[in-house]
Amino acid sequence: MTVRWWREVGWRHAGGLVAVVFAVVPVLYVVSAAFNPLGTVVSTDVIPTRFSLVHFQSLFSDPARPFPRWLLNTLIVCAMVTFVQVLCSALAAYAFSRFRFKGRRGGLLTLLLIQMFPQFLAVIALFTMVTELGEALPALGLNTIAGYSLVLMGGALAQVWLIKGYFDTIPRQLDEAAVVDGASHAGVFFRILLPLARPILAVTGLLAFVGVIGEFLLASIFLTDTNAKTLAVGLYGIIESDRSNNLGVFAAGALMTALPVVLLFQYLQRYIVGGLTSGAVKD
């Protein structure tokens, strides 16, 4: 470790390490709290010192906070909304990428504009709308996962730009060859483009999934029944009801929610970094 090494490379590592510590401390704290049997704020340190699974057990056994139910609700919402969003976006992206039609340019720009308006700004109208919908069809009203998912599907075209950009890089000769072989326009889409676009579908799917799992505003207003809650409002309820004593249970739930998402992010890292530079924003 010479002085020169320090001047040229060492200080870079020093800066990087500071950032790593800053990034990791809260994460370590959650892990530590989740496995700390006492589960209180006072007894929890950044470095885990004790190990117990008591909070995980309590998550699955306390009927007052039905974590499995929230998990299931969240998975249903995420799966439905992500599927619809990626499918609708891919369909529209196909039209925008492969067809030439009147209003194409205007349509693309309109989508870009609408995308920048967060849907939740219209929360008051959405609330009265779902209330009315629930009076007509109780299965789609307030406190239903179906009604909540339906509202979130309003963002069905949020990923058009990303997917269209990817479709544009797939040579047109491929679809033309398929058409010569007798494929219809639907055949080209489902058999040629979708399989080739798997990486971008994975990334947009992940972005949609993360967006839905973290949605709090609409969920907190639409889903107030304990059994209708998603993880976001459910876990919020746990920590809010008793900040100092429920830390362990909350951390255990948080860990189980975050772990799969973090692993997916690591797995898809390469594609995500590519997508970011073309303007994707996680919310």
Partner 1 sequence: MIRILCLGIAVGTAAALTPSLAGGGHYVVLTVAWVVVAVLLVTYGTGRAVTAKYLVPGTLLLVVFTVAPVLATVQMSTTNYGDGTRTTKRETVERILANSVVQAPDSPTFNLTVGTSGDSDFTFFLVDRATGTAYAGNRDGLKEVSPTVTRGFVTAAAGYTMLTPKQVNDAAAQLKEFAVPVEGGAIRQRGLREAFEGRTMLRYDEAADTITDTATGTSYTVQRQGDREYFVDGQGERLSEQSWRAGVGLENYRRAFTDPRILGGFLRIFGWTVVFAAGSVVLTFVVGLGLAVMLNDSRVRGQKVYRSILLLPYAIPGFISILVWSGFFNQEFGLINNLTGLDIDWLGDPWGAKAALLLLNLWLGFPYMFLVATGALQSIPAELREAATIDGAGAFTAFRRITLPLLLVAVAPILVASFAFNFNNYNVIELLTHGGPFTPDHPDAGATDILISYTVRLAFGAGGAQFGFAAAIATLLFVITGVLAAAQFRATRSLEEVH
The minimum distance between CB 11 and partner 1, in angstroms, equals 8
Least gap, CB of 232 to partner 1 (angstroms):
5
What whole-number distance in Å separates Cα of residue 163 and Cα of residue 115? Answer: 14
Helix axes 198-213, 269-277, angle to 10 degrees: 80
Of the pair 58, 119, the CB lying nearest partner 1 is at 119
Two tokens, residue 188? 């080209």
Min dist CB 205 to partner 1, Å, is: 15
Single-letter residue type at 280: A
For residue 239, the minimal CB distance to partner 1 (Å) is: 5
Cα 156 off chain centre by = 14
Cβ within 8 Å of residue 261, ≥6 positions away: 209, 210, 213
Nearer to partner 1, 50 or 243 (CB): 243
- Convert 213-230 to b/e letters by CB count within 10 Å (16 or more is b): bebeebbebbbeebebbb
- By beta-carbon proximity to partner 1, the closer residue of 43 and 52 is 43
Task: CB nearer to partner 1: give 137 or 177.
Answer: 137
Minimum CB distance to partner 1, residue 241 (Å): 12
Closer residue to partner 1, CB minimum distance, 54 or 280: 280
Q: What are phi and psi of 224, to 5 degrees?
A: -110, -20
By C-alpha distance, which of 212, 270, 173, 263 is closest to 86? Answer: 212
